[in-house]
Amino acid sequence: MANINKTSGKVLTAQVAGAGFAGLTAAIALRQNGWDVTLHEKDSELRAFGAGIYLWHNGLRVLEGVDALNDVLEGTHTPPAYETWMQNKSVSKETFNGLPWRIMTRSHLHNALVKRAHEVGVNVCVNSEAVAADAEGRLTLASGEVLEADLIVGADGVGSKVRDSMGFKQDRWVSTDGIIRLIVPRLKDQLGEGEWDNTIDMWNFEPRVQRILYSPCNDKELYLGLMAPAADPRGSRVPLDLEVWVEMFPFLEPCLAEAAKLEKARYDNYATTKLDTWVKGKVALVGDSAHAMCPALAQGAGCAMVNAFSLSQDLSEHSSVEDGLTSWEQRMRPMTDRCQALSGDYAANRALSKGNMFTNAALEAARYDPLRRVFSWPQQ
């Protein structure tokens, strides 16, 4: 059923800049609510960047809400436990009281959302880069074309041109540590004895600071997150400095040897972006353009998808776009801010190395059910 402007009688239109997880989710949810939606991607095709991803209860419920969950569940993995090691010895195993969570490749999740966007009739435009927007609902493309809409969604990432063109005030800071993210073959049978179906968060502080987040995605693919301080030239080197990683994590040598072959690896500093507001007039920012966060709580994508999905809910309950956007930010921002702040604190203090750090506060965003708008999972 079309979403009709009660004043003009016309179908409401949305222009969405950026076809990552947030942009795709926003486009699908709006389209499902009857909006005429156009999604703009600056590259020549829709494809995922990065390696692996964790989705928790909140993100999985979004996938259920946009009817993409079944496609995502196939070919992904829920580990029996989240295990933490310090100096190669286990210090904790967390099961989150049965809270649903899932590990997958980013391409697997992205492909499922792209498929769903096409199914619901989102108009997808590639080679179409948004370079500016204004509060009255105009989106300017790199081609010079200016498009008018009832809603502009800026989902164009950390370097958002939609955001920066409109002068949103922002604080941005970079952490001491960074990460190399890779997908390699599981090679489980080559790793010897161990609970290799678990997530294993391996920390070493001596003789140098290095961490590997070992994350099985499925039977064949393994997501590795290799953390080292930015000031460590060998730990942060890409392609991977195999010797320095094998020295610290010798039991993972078969997987690390595969990782060292990947020449397109990238070292990314942990970064946080906080804005004074997510909305201006008819423009809303979602995902990393609004609230990029450190990956300590594995909620960057989850919060992005939840907020993108929730946007359509608030817009459907208000007679004006501006009122809907104001309501949306007031409803969703406090939880996102708390998640962002705690994630940044955990990253700065390397708190996850202690084990048993997924407290009720750390799992707040994960426990949120965006379909019912409640915290539906029991606390630990």
Q: Give me the CATH number covering residue 25.
A: 3.50.50.60
Residue that finishes a domain, picked among 212, 235, 269? 269
| CA–CA distance, 115 with 46 (Å, rounded to integer) | 11
Residue that finishes a domain, picked among 269, 303, 338? 269
| CA–CA distance, 203 with 177 (Å, rounded to integer) | 13
Please check whether residues 151 and 294 belong to one and the same domain.
Answer: yes
Please check whether residues 185 and 39 belong to one and the same domain.
Answer: no
Burial of 98 (0-12, 13-18, 19+ CB in 10 A): exposed
Does residue 126 lie in a domain region? yes
Model confidence pLDDT, tens digit, residues 174-214: 889 999 999 999 999 999 899 999 999 999 999 999 999 99
Please check whether residues 238 and 198 belong to one and the same domain.
Answer: yes
Give this prediction's pTM. Answer: 0.96
Given a cut of 90, whether residue 325 has pLDDT beyond it is: yes
Please check whether residues 235 and 136 belong to one and the same domain.
Answer: no
Number of structural domains (the chain) is 2
Residue 207 to residues 87, 244, 251, 340, 348: CA-CA distances in angstroms?
10, 11, 17, 31, 20
Token pair, residue 280, equals 């201006």
| CA–CA distance, 142 with 30 (Å, rounded to integer) | 24
Does residue 294 lie in a domain region? yes
Please check whether residues 205 and 221 belong to one and the same domain.
Answer: yes
Look at phi and psi of residue 286 and say left if phi exceeds 0, alpha if psi is from -120 to 50, else beta: beta
Please check whether residues 215 and 361 belong to one and the same domain.
Answer: no
Nearest one of 271, 279, 272 to 332, comparing CA atoms: 279
Please check whether residues 280 and 186 belong to one and the same domain.
Answer: no
State residue 2's pLDDT score: 57
Please check whether residues 306 and 336 belong to one and the same domain.
Answer: yes
- The mean pLDDT of 288-314, rounded to a whole number, is 97
Given a cut of 70, whether residue 146 has pLDDT beyond it is: yes
Place of tokens 């359509």: 312
- Is it true that the peptide bond before 239 is cis, omega within 30 degrees of 0? yes
Model confidence pLDDT, tens digit, residues 92-138: 999 999 999 999 999 999 999 999 999 999 999 999 999 999 999 99
Does residue 6 lie in a domain region? no
Indicate the average pLDDT of the chain.
95
Q: What are phi and psi of 279, to 5 degrees?
A: -135, 145
Model confidence pLDDT, tens digit, residues 40-72: 999 988 888 789 999 999 999 999 999 999 999
Residue that finishes a domain, picked among 210, 243, 269? 269
Which residue range(s) make up the domain with 214? Answer: 173-269
Please check whether residues 245 and 367 belong to one and the same domain.
Answer: no
